[in-house]
């Protein structure tokens, strides 16, 4: 499969996304049975960070290492993306040093600009619009749990943020039914919803939007939540904590869902806010297997980008 960049799940068809997942699952099995082949030997990747992240940094560094390549971290102070130096200049400089760029940024347009000028593969490690690597880890986790994505009911409870956008696009591309319950005024972008409607028409999945968390979880096999206050929204903390309080994923809410329902969270979680300890540490939680799948899903993406798998 030939890929140029990985900026958005929306850029790929269902067969292409399933191919990436198949590669990810294959690499996960290989790692557990004795180690991966060094298919990225001699390849290097720059990890450009505007936002800090435990999972993104460690999973990309270890993923490249396990596949025989090399990744190195560039902090916000070292780069000053779009401030100290123009994005297009950074892209062209790095293209002369490395084989790929992973960037975790505030503004989605910075990811798009890096891809436009770099001339080498660019991976979106998170932007204010979407989080496609997380989305691939999410659907990989669902696929491992249920054996399929077709017809699985996925309910997102909370803010219509970047994580919700990628999860919605992954579900509607791959035939899972997606519902979201969020407070009024905290919806996903209209353009993201419009694309999801088109994807669902093709895949046969359904979309449902609500302000009632109990409504969306009553038939859900997957209940997903995320932080109420993302990086860059700290000034809104007091307001958001009040508005989102009814959207906590707790045992009371979980008890109204089907018995086979699993709970997911992209992490970091704010225990006692969007999710309780009882749920995150409970038997229905798949939060940590989901986090571990960031490594495997991203290895699949890197393999398809840099090894033409």
**Per-residue pLDDT tens for 285-304?**
999 999 999 999 999 999 99
Return the pLDDT at 233: 76
Q: What is the pLDDT of residue 78?
A: 85
CA separation for the pair 120, 202 (Å, rounded): 31
Q: What is the mean pLDDT of residues 72-95?
A: 89
pLDDT band at residue 52 using 50, 70 and 90 as cut-offs? confident
CB 64 within 8 A of CB 70: yes
Q: What is the CA radius of gyration of the chain?
A: 19
Give 142-146 contacts, CB < 8 A, sequence gap 24+: 142/176, 142/222, 143/21, 143/25, 144/25, 144/289, 144/293, 145/262, 145/286, 146/221
For residue 2, pLDDT over 90 is answered with no
Distance CA 114, CA 123 (A): 10
Residue 10 pLDDT greater than 90, yes or no? yes
Q: Distance (Å, rounded) from C-alpha 304 to C-alpha 306?
A: 6
Which uninterrupted H or E stretch holds 210?
Answer: strand 207-210
Q: Active site residue: 50, 134, 221, 280, which one?
A: 134
User: How confident is the model at residue 308, as a pLDDT?
Assistant: 86
Q: Check whether 21 is labelled as a binding-site residue.
A: no
Closest among 293, 305, 306, 269 to 31, alpha carbons compared: 293
Q: What is the pTM of this model?
A: 0.96
Cis bond before residue 83 (omega within 30° of 0): no
pLDDT band at 80 (very low <50, low <70, confident <90, very high): confident
- By percentage, how much of the chain surpasses pLDDT 90? 91
User: Rounded to an integer, what distance in angstroms lies between the CA atom of residue 180 and that of residue 223?
Assistant: 10
Q: Which of 266, 280, 296, 304 is catalytic?
A: 266
Q: Residue 70: in which H helix or E strand, if any?
A: strand 70-74
In the predicted structure, residue 98 carries a pLDDT above the cut 80: yes
Give the DSSP letter of residue 307.
S
Average pLDDT, whole number, for the chain? 96
The domains located in the chain, with CATH, are 5-131+293-306 (3.40.50.1370), 134-291 (3.40.50.1370)
What tokens were used for 25? 């699952």
Q: Which pLDDT band holds residue 79 (cuts at 50, 70, 90)? A: confident
User: Can you tell me whether residue 205 is helix, strand or coil?
Assistant: coil
* Residue 309, annotated as binding a ligand: no
Q: Is 304 known to be catalytic?
A: no
- Residue 131 annotated in active site: yes
pLDDT tens track for 152-191: 999 999 999 999 999 999 999 999 999 999 999 999 999 9
Structure tokens of 285? 């939680």
* Separation of alpha carbons 134 and 116, rounded Å: 23
pLDDT, tens digit (0-9, with 9 covering 90-100), for 31-46: 999 999 999 999 999 9
Q: Is the pLDDT of residue 83 over 80?
A: no
131 is in an annotated binding site: yes
292 is known to lie in a ligand binding site: no
Contact partners, residue 186, CB within 8 Å, separation at least 6: 159, 160, 243, 244
- pLDDT (mean) for 111-139: 97
Helix boundaries (H) for 96-160? 108-118, 132-146
């Amino acid at each position: 499969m030939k890929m140029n960049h990985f900026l958005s799940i929306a850029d790929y068809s269902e067969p292409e996304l399933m191919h990436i997942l198949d590669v990810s699952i294959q690499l996960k099995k290989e790692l557990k049975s004795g180690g991966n082949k060094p298919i990225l030997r001699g390849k290097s990747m720059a990890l450009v960070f505007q936002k800090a992240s435990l999972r993104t940094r460690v999973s990309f560094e270890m993923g490249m290492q396990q596949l025989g390549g090399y990744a190195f971290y560039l902090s916000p102070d070292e780069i000053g993306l779009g401030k100290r130096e123009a994005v297009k200049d950074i892209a062209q400089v790095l293209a002369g040093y490395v084989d790929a760029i992973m960037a975790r940024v505030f503004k989605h347009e910075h990811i798009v600009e890096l891809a436009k000028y770099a001339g080498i593969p660019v991976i979106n490690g998170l932007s204010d619009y979407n989080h496609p690597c997380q989305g691939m880890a999410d659907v990989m986790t669902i696929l491992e749990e249920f054996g399929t994505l077709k017809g699985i009911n996925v309910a997102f409870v909370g803010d219509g943020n970047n994580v919700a956008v990628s999860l919605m696009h992954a579900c509607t591309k791959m035939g899972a039914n997606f519902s979201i319950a969020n407070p009024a005024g905290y919806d996903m972008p209209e353009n993201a919803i419009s694309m999801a409607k088109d994807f669902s028409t093709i895949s046969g999945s359904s979309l449902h939007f609500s302000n009632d968390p109990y409504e969306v979880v009553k038939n859900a096999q997957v209940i997903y939540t995320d932080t109420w206050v993302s990086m860059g929204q700290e000034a809104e903390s007091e307001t958001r904590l009040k508005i989102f309080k009814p959207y906590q994923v707790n045992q009371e809410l979980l008890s109204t869902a089907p018995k086979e329902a699993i709970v997911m969270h992209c992490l970091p979680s704010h225990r006692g806010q969007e999710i309780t300890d009882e749920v995150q540490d409970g038997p229905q939680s798949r939060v940590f297997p989901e986090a571990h799948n960031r490594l495997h899903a991203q290895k699949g993406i890197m393999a398809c980008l840099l090894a033409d798998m």
